[in-house]
Amino acid sequence: DGGITQSPKYLFRKEGQNVTLSCEQNLNHDAMYWYRQDPGQGLRLIYYSQIVNDFQKGDIAEGYSVSREKKESFPLTVTSAQKNPTAFYLCASTPPSGRKSEQFFGPGTRLTVL
């Protein structure tokens, strides 16, 4: 089955630690996206990548980093510089048909920083 996987589903970390969230897709999609979701605030774009080895900052990139070494993978690192990292993180991708297409979402990772 094709799709987007995010792991783990739940993640707990101590304050001050970096943590990496995984996002993998086997849909042959070119573009991938990371969103942060907080109650009552909708989805906010953190980073996106339209092609391997290239990525751009979204609206709330501070305290986050990404890499795109493979088409299938777009991991997100939440660094200790992120002041309020506890949130639900969603990864998405779009097919090669590009900007006119909907985004396909993974199941999400809920990060709790203690």
Q: Cα–Cα distance between 113 and 96 in angstroms, integer?
A: 36
Residue number, 80 or 105, with CB nearest to another protein: 105
Q: Which of 11, 24, 27, 43 binds another protein (CB under 8 A)?
A: 43
* CB neighbour list of residue 21: distance below 8 Å, 6 or more residues apart: 6, 7, 11, 75, 76, 77, 78, 89, 91, 109, 111
With contacts defined by CB under 8 A, name the span among 14-22, 66-74, 76-84, 89-97 that binds another protein: 89-97
Contact 109, 37 (CB under 8 A): no
Contact status: 48 vs another protein (CB under 8 A)? yes
Cis geometry, peptide bond prior to residue 96 (ω within 30 degrees of 0): no
Contact status: 17 vs another protein (CB under 8 A)? no
Q: Which of 22, 50, 79, 80 binds another protein (CB under 8 A)?
A: 50
Which parts of this chain interact with another protein (CB under 8 A)? Answer: 4, 6, 9, 31, 33, 40-43, 45, 48, 50, 56, 58, 88, 90, 92, 94, 98-108, 110
